[in-house]
Every structure is written in structure tokens, then in C-alpha cells.
Amino acid sequence: MNAKPAISVVVALIALMLALTAPCWSADAKYPTKPIHMWVGFAAGGSTDICARSVSAIAEKSLGQPIVVENKPGGGGALLLGLLASATPDGYTLATTSDTPYTRAPHLINVKYNSMEDFTPIVRLGLQRQGIVVRADSPFKKWQDLIDFARKNPGQLTYGTPGPGTTPHLAMEKIAIQEKVRFQHIPFQGDTPAMTALLGGHVMAASTGALGWMQHVKAGSLRLLLIIESEGMEGMPDVPTFKKVGYGFETPTAQMISAPKRAPKPIIDKLIAVFSEAMMTPQFQKVARDQELLSVKPLAGADFQKWLQSQYNMYGTFIKEVGLQKEAK
């Protein structure tokens, strides 16, 4: 026996690796004439990734070219926007992220882009539902019980969040200011670890995205006390919203698609049309419901840019108000 079969196996493995990682190249003509790259600012399997993949799978049919989804996670989406800012604006590189690197990250860390100048937002896919939950056996039967406890026991109410500076965290800190109470924040890394800690009784409440708690609320092991938005929730008419308990603010998180600035207008218009249409298909609407995305109607173009700018300004004020530190220059 000699080493030949082993070498041929190795060669086959290299071929497989190249096939798995190779980008696709082709000539230029009428848009789109080659595959489009959809970068995702978060890891595979997460909410942003699922939205990106399902909307791309629908949109590529009307575009007539495949959309290749690539995950480029890092810095809560800030890494991706840094890359996108310097990508060729030819409509072949798009990005799906949450609005975090647009509206909040620039107030907290030194990012390598100007979130309001360097990009063309294409479409907002929806807003992530959020809420504050406690365990089913908790003495807090309604929202006011929790506030009363916090007022009598300053700093004793522990609550988990998906991390510092996330919207569910900002919501709780704003509430604390408005109600003049003090909570003890325990940051976790993502919705799931925060939910695990709540289920195990290690924290008294948790403020996270609905994906974390919806199953447990339905199964009866957690109780939803408050919805962090002005609209109520389907199937849960008794749960109060921010508006109902008198909080005059909201802390939304959006999922969105954007492109580098200066992409030709006809291309942007085509992308807006195609993705808006893809969003309204029953397939995507189902994904959105499963992902607890709210108000799934397309927000695009100038209206979308205006909304982003207002969110950017609002979170800038919020973050200063609740006293979060920004990274030193």
C-alpha cells in the first residue's frame, strides 16, 4: 500500500472546504446579474439570522439571483456596520441587523462608522416584542405589586436582562427613574441565560425579548406582568402595556435591512420593492409571528430614515439619563 488513497481523500476534503467557503464571482450587467451577499450582524440561529434567511429566501425568487447569507457577528452588530460602511455600494452587499448598532451602539462605544450618514436603510422588518416577567409562584400578581415591593425595599428587587445597554435594560432603568425606586440589575448574556436564572429563582424578575419567555408564559411557569410597548398582545388582553400603566415612553428594538451609502437609486428602489413584497408574504408573516415580531408592515425609504434618526436621538437622551457610561476615546 502507498499513500495515494490518503492523498486523494485529503484533496477531496480541500475541495469540500473550498466549496463550503468560496464566494461566487461573475460579470456585471443589469442588476442583479450575480449572487447578492446578505451579511448578518449576529450569529446563525438567532432572531436576526432567522429573519434574514427567511426574507432572503423569498426575495431571491423575485430578484432571479441567489442571496448568499453570511454571518459576520461581533460587537452587537457594530463590526458588521464597520465593514458595510466600506463595502462597494453596488447593491451586491446588503446587511441585516437589529437597529442596535444604528441607534444605541454609537452612544455607548467608539464605532468606526457614522450610523446616520454612512448607510441607506432599505426596510424595517419589524419590532421585537419585549416584556417583564416573574415566576408563576411569585408574590407579584400584577405590575403594581412589583413597584410597591421595590418602593418598600430599595435595591432589593433583582431583575435579569439580556445585557447592559439593551432595550429591556434601558426600559427598567427609565421606569426606576419615573417611579423613583431602585432596582438591582443583574446583566446576563442574551435572553436565554436571563430566563434560565429567572426559572431557577435566582433573580426575582426578568426584562427580556418575548422569544425568551413566550413558551413559558403559555406553559404557565412564568407570569407576564407588563408589555414594554403601547400596543397590547394578541391572546393576552389582560396584560397591561406601558401606555396603560402611564409610562410615556417606549424602547423598541427593530430588525432591519440596509445597504452602503451611495448605491444607485434604481437599485435601492428595486430592493425596497422586492423586500417589502417579500415581507408581506404569508411565509414571512408566519416567521415574524414565531419570532414575536410586531407591526410587520414595511417601513422603507425616507420614512424609515426619519424613524431611525428619531430613535438615535431618543436613545442618546435615554442613555445619558439612566447614567450609562460611554467608552473613553
| Positions in 3-32 near other proteins (CB under 8 A) | 3, 5-7, 9-10, 13-14, 16-18, 20-21
Q: 222-227 and 67-71: which strand pairing? A: unpaired
User: Is residue 182 close enough to count as binding other proteins by CB under 8 A?
Assistant: no
Q: Which cell is 329 given?
A: 476615546
User: Is residue 41 close enough to count as binding other proteins by CB under 8 A?
Assistant: no
Which residues have CB under 8 Å from 121's CB, separation 6+? 256, 257, 258, 300, 304, 305, 308
Q: Could you tell me the smallest distance in angstroms from the CB atom of residue 109 to other proteins?
A: 6
Helices (H), 130-263: 143-152, 167-179, 191-199, 210-219
88/110 with CB nearer other proteins: 110
User: Is residue 128 close enough to count as binding other proteins by CB under 8 A?
Assistant: no
Q: Output the CA angle 207-258-41, nearest 5 degrees.
A: 50
| DSSP reduced 3-state for 118 | coil
Q: Which cell is 238 given?
A: 389582560
Q: Could you tell me the smallest distance in angstroms from the CB atom of residue 301 to other proteins?
A: 28
Residues 267-306 contacting other proteins, CB under 8 A: 286-287, 290-291
**Measured distance CA(34)–CA(60) in Å, rounded:** 11
165/168 with CB nearer other proteins: 165
Pick the stretch among 46-54, 236-244, 247-255, 307-315 that binds other proteins (CB under 8 A): 46-54
User: Is residue 214 close enough to count as binding other proteins by CB under 8 A?
Assistant: yes
Pick the stretch among 44-52, 146-154, 170-178, 237-245 that binds other proteins (CB under 8 A): 44-52
12/177 with CB nearer other proteins: 12
Pick the stretch among 212-220, 226-234, 294-302, 306-314 that binds other proteins (CB under 8 A): 212-220
Under a CB-based contact definition with an 8 Å cutoff, are residues 103 and 317 in contact?
Answer: no
46/252 with CB nearer other proteins: 46
Number of chain residues interacting with other proteins (CB under 8 A):
74
| DSSP reduced 3-state for 116 | coil
Under a CB-based contact definition with an 8 Å cutoff, are residues 308 and 81 in contact?
Answer: no
Pick the stretch among 38-46, 140-148, 236-244, 265-273 that binds other proteins (CB under 8 A): 38-46
14/177 with CB nearer other proteins: 14
108/272 with CB nearer other proteins: 108
Q: Draw the binding track, 227-266, toward other proteins (x: CB under 8 A; -: no contact).
A: ----------------------------------------
Q: Could you tell me the smallest distance in angstroms from the CB atom of residue 256 to other proteins?
A: 19
User: Is residue 316 close enough to count as binding other proteins by CB under 8 A?
Assistant: no
Q: Which cell is 252 given?
A: 423598541
Q: What stretch of H or E contains 68? A: strand 67-71
Q: Which of 35, 82, 232, 240 binds other proteins (CB under 8 A)?
A: 82
Under a CB-based contact definition with an 8 Å cutoff, are residues 38 and 65 in contact?
Answer: no
**Measured distance CA(183)–CA(134) in Å, rounded:** 14
Q: 205-209 and 36-40: which strand pairing? A: unpaired
Residues 96-115 contacting other proteins, CB under 8 A: 108-112
**Measured distance CA(147)–CA(168) in Å, rounded:** 16
